[in-house]
Amino acid sequence: MSPATGDQSLPTAAYLAALAALDGAGPARLRAILAERSAHDAWFGVRSGAPWVTTALGSHDRAAQWCRAAVRIDPGELLATLRANRFGAVDQRSPGYPPPLRDDPDPPAVLFADGDLAAVGDRRVAVVGTRRCTRYGHDVAIELGESLAASGVTVVSGLALGIDAAAHVGALRAQGAPPVAVVAGGLDEPYPRRNAPLWREVAAAGVVLSEAPAGVRPQRWRFPSRNRIIAGLAEVVVVVESHERGGSLYTVSEAISRDRPVMAVPGPIRSAASTGTNALIADGGHVLSRIDDVFALLDLVGTVTVGSPHQRPIADAVDRRILDALGWQPTSIDEIVAHTRLPVDDVALRLHRLENDGVVALRGRWYEQCVVAPGHRAAQST
Amino acid sequence: MLATVSSASLTGVRGHPVTVEVHVSQGLPSFTVVGLPDTSCREARDRVRAAVLSSGLEWPQTRITVNLAPSGVPKVGAGLDLAIAVGVLRAGGQLGDGDTEGFAFIGELGLDGSVRNVIGTLPLVAAARRPIVAVAPANHAEAALVPGVDVRSAPTLRAMVDALRAVEYWPQPPPAPIPPAPAPLDELAQVKGQPLARRAVEIAAAGGHHLLMVGPPGGGKSMLARSLVGLLPSLTPEEALDVMTVHSAAGLQLAPGALIERPPFRAPHHTASTVALVGGGSRALRPGEISCAHAGVLFLDELGEFPASVLDALRQPLEDGVVRIARAYGATTLPARVLLVAAMNPCPCGDAGVAGSSCRCSEGTRQRYLRRVSGPLLDRFDLRVHVDRPPASALFSSEATEPTAAVVERVAQARSIAAARGVARNADLAMSDLDTLAPLAPTARRVLEIAMDRGRLTARGVHRVRRVARTIADLAGTEGPVDECHVAGALATRIDVGTSATGLVA
């Protein structure tokens, strides 16, 4: 009865990959054609231009386009890629499908996984934020990731640069609950490439999920789409730093539409990287004033691995002046000199010493004051 | 009949003496010029003949051969016209041999017999090595700069011949042309805020370290660069003569009467070609902007917009202090000891790295933009600072910032300390001399070691930092070993250009 009876031997994953590889195969369309049929039947329906496909997609043009495109897609080849990379593929009927997404209003129809899908644990917190973060945001994200994972809470994030990466780094450092990453592009193409080593570590320790089949470079629309999965997976979404407009705010609105609590980490009012998070707090978001706060929201008593922020006692009056000029936001040496009116060489030398003592840190050309972090120092000394 | 007349021709910025030999013999009327003339030089035949005839003089209706000796060296330009004309007149008997005794002739002729100015008069007159030099009126003042030369000028060939025959007086030289006023230098006091950049400018002036400024538009990078010239010491007489020789050869208008005192400031536009920047050309071997900036400041604004090939051509001159130009028919060196000051934006839109900026350039775009300046060239900059837009409070602050005059004193003091060590510019300190001339205090070495451990300094960078630290110590009046605060100060003026563009770090 089927035009390609020989293909019937292929497992479901092959047809899921083939369907997801169609141009414009977003979650809604895939759900529509997978609603009442197996992946195998859906694929051959699309390929043969069956009338029900037009009905399911609600568009004759799209059905015709997919019918033409399907000829060039070989499920067998896609399956070989999946197997070569040890990637899994699940749809909503698969037993491995992440349970939190089963009741989602906009669940992914197909999910590809690099790693163990069981990594999606019972308690899950998303830690998200801007790519262009400050040292402060970077450190908070690491602390959060580390504390959560150490307490057995799954850290969900997006493996982007900046906050996302820092959260994963923290989660990996704790060696506690396995990390979960949701990415926008194909699993075989780490994006951004700079994160490839971290990507592999996350896949080895936990799981990297994607709606896109292997070989797909992340198109623009896939990033907000990925953010909705992060929101869907998390019980609580913590935004560490966000600019006035940014992808993490999309995650926030997806979380709000799912009645998930959103926490924001307050930041200096003059830091561009905190304008988004401060606005969230002003709009009634939960405040993360201590790492503990996230556990309170989860009704957990967590293990906080790092200390609370307070300045260390600095005896030297001139050092004190420099730290006062530094404040708690990234500051250039120009600004410090302008505020303290000390000679440039003197400021440079004192900053050098303060950096040696771990009081300040230099990132690019910005100096930042470090918080007392016993956990970090322990981690560094071992 | 044979006549020999002295003149000179230009290769690069160097004049070399040329003897114009004119032979008039029986035969069919002809006029040949031999001795490697270039096109404009060979065309002298037509100009000279027309000029002689227009002047009411006689053109010998015989066979005329002109040899430009030494005949192996290529001659360029029309500056030999006058000497050829005088040679023909002498060979034809219209001028007595005694009339031109001790003379050299440098000038171009018009068809109407007028004597026109030539570029490079200063080196040409110096190269002619004759007690009296006749030039075009427009070149009179410039030629008079050469010591020990009696300069004569006349507006036309006829007037010159009459003066040579002693039937007329030499005409009065015209008033020297007023060169365009040099761009007013910026006063350092106008630069508000920018403590680090001001400091870098001071160090650059004191030690001759090349300076790169990275920052958004409107930060005052150009102003800082222009004010840097004001901090440099005045030129020595030898330097001044070098500078004027180059400027003369490049056809720039020289200030009349005296040697120039202030170092030149040249700011070529970023569309400049390689030849325009380093000099050369098909035959004339003209000096480029880097030679025109000799002993002064070469300012390259928008460094990232210069073609990579043009910038890479700067590397050898920066290293050697001279431009070596070699062509199939000859080679020359042009002086090019400059203080290179460059400015560039951190990204195409210019706003990267500004706190609270609206920069929308992607990370990749920024990196690509910064990569347009090659590593080896970047390495030439001992000083690299980020120049932010000053905060509004600094712009309107009534508080006095240090004026140029105050900084000039420190720079002069630092230079004299360096000179006492036998070093003109600390930037030129040889690596082998660093340990003896710029020894490090133990604490200072520790600062360098830590910087290397943190991956902020390469082995090559260490030497550069040590030279800058030496200059900072000189500025502070420290003659002993380089102290840790000098090294820390040197490190602060050496940002990593790549990460400085990334304002908030990922």
Break chain B into its structural domains and give their ranges. Answer: 2-164, 188-505
> And the tokens for B166?
């002693």
Cβ burial B382-406 (10 Å sphere, 16+ → b, else e):
bbbbbbbbbeeebeeeeeebeebee
Does residue B504 belong to the interface with chain A, where contact is any CB pair within 8 Å?
A: yes
Decide if B196 and A334 are in contact by the 8 Å CB cutoff: yes
pLDDT of residue B80: 92
Decide if A344 and B356 are in contact by the 8 Å CB cutoff: no
How close B192 comes to chain A (CA, Å)?
11
Q: Which residue of chain B has the CA closest to A135? A: B505
Cβ atoms < 10 Å from Cβ of B274: 17
How close A224 comes to chain B (CA, Å)?
18
Tell me how far apart the alpha carbons of residues A347 and A369 are, in angstroms, rounded to a whole number: 15
Tell me how far apart the alpha carbons of residues B288 and B276 are, in angstroms, rounded to a whole number: 5
What do you get for the CA distance between the two ends of chain A, in Å?
66
Cβ atoms A62, A26 nearer than 8 A: no
Decide if A349 and B195 are in contact by the 8 Å CB cutoff: no
Average pLDDT over residues B413-436: 88
pTM of the model: 0.72
Q: Give contacts of A131 with chain B, Cβ < 8 Å.
A: 506
Q: Give contacts of B388 with chain A, Cβ < 8 Å.
A: 332, 334
- Tell me which residue of B42, B26, B121, B43 sits closest to B74, measured CA to CA: B42
The residues of A whose Cβ lies within 8 A of any Cβ of B are: 131-135, 138, 161-162, 165, 270, 272-273, 330, 332-334, 337-338, 344-349, 351-352, 356, 363-366
Please list, in sequence order, all residues whose beta carbon lies within 8 angstroms of the beta carbon of residue B360, skipping any fewer than 6 positions away. B349
Q: Which residue of chain A has the CA closest to B199? A: A344
Question: Where do runs of H (alpha helix) occur along B55-166?
Answer: 81-91, 121-128, 140-143, 157-164
Q: Give contacts of A133 with chain B, Cβ < 8 Å.
A: 504-506
pLDDT of residue B41: 77
DSSP states of B408-465 as a string? Answer: HHHHHHHHHHHHHTT-S-GGG--GGGHHHHSPBPHHHHHHHHHHHHTTS--HHHHHHH
Between A47 and B502, name the one with better pLDDT. A47
Q: To the nearest whole number, what is the mean pLDDT of chain B? A: 86
pLDDT of residue B364: 75
Does residue B365 belong to the interface with chain A, where contact is any CB pair within 8 Å?
A: no
How close B499 comes to chain A (CA, Å)?
5
Confidence of residue A380 (pLDDT cuts 50, 70, 90): very low
Does residue B212 belong to the interface with chain A, where contact is any CB pair within 8 Å?
A: no
pLDDT of residue B257: 61
Q: Give contacts of B472 with chain A, Cβ < 8 Å.
A: 345
Which letter does DSSP use for residue B383 in this model?
Answer: E
Decide if A349 and B357 are in contact by the 8 Å CB cutoff: no
Say if residue B293's pLDDT is above 90.
Answer: yes
> And the tokens for A274?
């905190």
Tell me how far apart the alpha carbons of residues B350 and B344 are, in angstroms, rounded to a whole number: 9
Cβ-in-10-Å burial (0-12, 13-18, 19+) of A317 comes to exposed
> And the tokens for A366?
């910005």
pLDDT of residue A379: 34
What value of ipTM does the predicted structure carry? 0.79
Decide if B505 and A363 are in contact by the 8 Å CB cutoff: yes
Give percent of chain A with pLDDT exceeding 70. 92
Does residue B227 belong to the interface with chain A, where contact is any CB pair within 8 Å?
A: no
Average pLDDT over residues B278-306: 88
How close B506 comes to chain A (CA, Å)?
4
Cβ atoms B452, B413 nearer than 8 A: no
**pLDDT tens per residue, range B195-232:** 899 999 999 999 999 999 988 888 888 899 999 998 99
**pLDDT tens per residue, range B438-480:** 899 999 999 999 988 888 888 888 889 999 999 999 999 888 8
Decide if A365 and B491 are in contact by the 8 Å CB cutoff: no
Within 13 Å, how many C-alpha atoms sit on residue A288's CB side? Answer: 26
Tell me how far apart the alpha carbons of residues B221 and B341 are, in angstroms, rounded to a whole number: 10
Decide if B502 and A364 are in contact by the 8 Å CB cutoff: yes
Residue pointed to by tokens 């009081």: A359
Nearest to B488 among A162, A337, A349 (CB): A349
Q: Which CATH architecture has domain A310-369?
A: Orthogonal Bundle (1.10)
Average pLDDT over residues B171-183: 73
Q: Which CATH architecture has domain B188-505?
A: 3-Layer(aba) Sandwich (3.40)
Does residue B455 belong to the interface with chain A, where contact is any CB pair within 8 Å?
A: no
Q: Give contacts of B484 with chain A, Cβ < 8 Å.
A: 349
Tell me how far apart the alpha carbons of residues A27 and A37 are, in angstroms, rounded to a whole number: 16
Mean pLDDT comparison of A304-313, A352-361, B49-58, highest-scoring range:
B49-58
Nearest to B504 among A132, A345, A351 (CB): A132
Tell me how far apart the alpha carbons of residues A337 and A201 are, in angstroms, rounded to a whole number: 42
Question: Which residue of A344, A347, A362 is the best one to mutate when testing the B interface, meaning the one whose CB has the most B CBs within 10 A?
Answer: A344
The edge-to-edge listing of strands for the beta sheet with B132-135 is B30-34, B63-69, B14-25, B2-11, B103-105, B132-135, B150-153
Say if residue B149's pLDDT is above 80.
Answer: yes
Does residue B471 belong to the interface with chain A, where contact is any CB pair within 8 Å?
A: no
Q: Which residue of chain A has the CA closest to B486? A: A345
Does residue B97 belong to the interface with chain A, where contact is any CB pair within 8 Å?
A: no
Does residue B356 belong to the interface with chain A, where contact is any CB pair within 8 Å?
A: yes
Cβ atoms A366, B503 nearer than 8 A: yes
Nearest to B500 among A330, A348, A365 (CB): A365
Distance of alpha carbon A170 from the chain centroid: 13
What is the SS3 assignment for B63? strand
Say if residue B38's pLDDT is above 50.
Answer: yes
Cβ atoms B298, B25 nearer than 8 A: no
Does residue B465 belong to the interface with chain A, where contact is any CB pair within 8 Å?
A: no
Query: What Rg value do the Cα atoms of chain B yield, rounded?
Result: 28
How close B493 comes to chain A (CA, Å)?
9
What does residue B134 show for φ and ψ, rounded to 5 degrees?
Answer: -100, 130
Stretch (H or E) spanning A111: strand A110-115
Tell me how far apart the alpha carbons of residues A129 and A273 are, in angstroms, rounded to a whole number: 9
Chain B residues 386-415 with CB within 8 Å of chain A: 386, 388, 391, 394
- Tell me which residue of B106, B124, B114, B110 sits closest to B47, measured CA to CA: B110
Question: Which residue of A275, A350, A365, A368 is the best one to mutate when testing the B interface, meaning the one whose CB has the most B CBs within 10 A?
Answer: A365
pLDDT of residue A6: 47
Average pLDDT over residues B28-53: 88
How close A341 comes to chain B (CA, Å)?
9
Question: Which residue of A329, A349, A368 is the best one to mutate when testing the B interface, meaning the one whose CB has the most B CBs within 10 A?
Answer: A349
Decide if B495 and A348 are in contact by the 8 Å CB cutoff: no
Stretch (H or E) spanning B213: strand B211-214
Decide if B505 and A332 are in contact by the 8 Å CB cutoff: no
One-letter amino acid for residue B475 of the chain: L
pLDDT of residue B159: 94
**pLDDT tens per residue, range A316-346:** 888 888 888 887 777 888 889 888 889 999 9
Break chain A into its structural domains and give their ranges. Answer: 1-80, 115-307, 310-369
What's the CATH number for B2-164?
3.30.230.10
Decide if B472 and A352 are in contact by the 8 Å CB cutoff: no
Cβ-in-10-Å burial (0-12, 13-18, 19+) of A172 comes to buried
Given 3.20.20.70, 3.40.50.720, 3.40.50.450, 1.10.10.10, which CATH number is that of A115-307?
3.40.50.450
**pLDDT tens per residue, range A12-67:** 889 999 999 888 888 899 999 888 888 899 999 999 988 998 888 888 899 999 99
Decide if B503 and A270 are in contact by the 8 Å CB cutoff: no
Does residue B181 belong to the interface with chain A, where contact is any CB pair within 8 Å?
A: no
Within 13 Å, how many C-alpha atoms sit on residue A247's CB side? Answer: 27
Length of chain A: 382
pLDDT of residue B103: 93
Cβ-in-10-Å burial (0-12, 13-18, 19+) of B177 comes to middle
DSSP states of A279-339 as a string? Answer: HHHHTTPEE-SSTHHHHHHTT------SPPP-PPP---HHHHHHHHHHTTS-EEHHHHHHH
Say if residue A126's pLDDT is above 70.
Answer: yes
Which letter does DSSP use for residue A103 in this model?
Answer: T
Q: Give contacts of A356 with chain B, Cβ < 8 Å.
A: 450
SS (H, E, C) B273-316: CHHHHHCECCCCCECCHHHHCCCCEEEECCHHHCCHHHHHCCHH
Cβ atoms < 10 Å from Cβ of B102: 11
Backbone torsion region of residue A212, taken as left when φ is above 0, otherwise alpha when ψ lies between -120 and 50, otherwise beta: beta
Decide if B450 and A352 are in contact by the 8 Å CB cutoff: yes
What does residue B432 show for φ and ψ, rounded to 5 degrees?
Answer: -70, -20
Q: Which residue of chain A has the CA closest to B489? A: A345
Tell me how far apart the alpha carbons of residues A306 and A144 are, in angstroms, rounded to a whole number: 9
Does residue B216 belong to the interface with chain A, where contact is any CB pair within 8 Å?
A: no
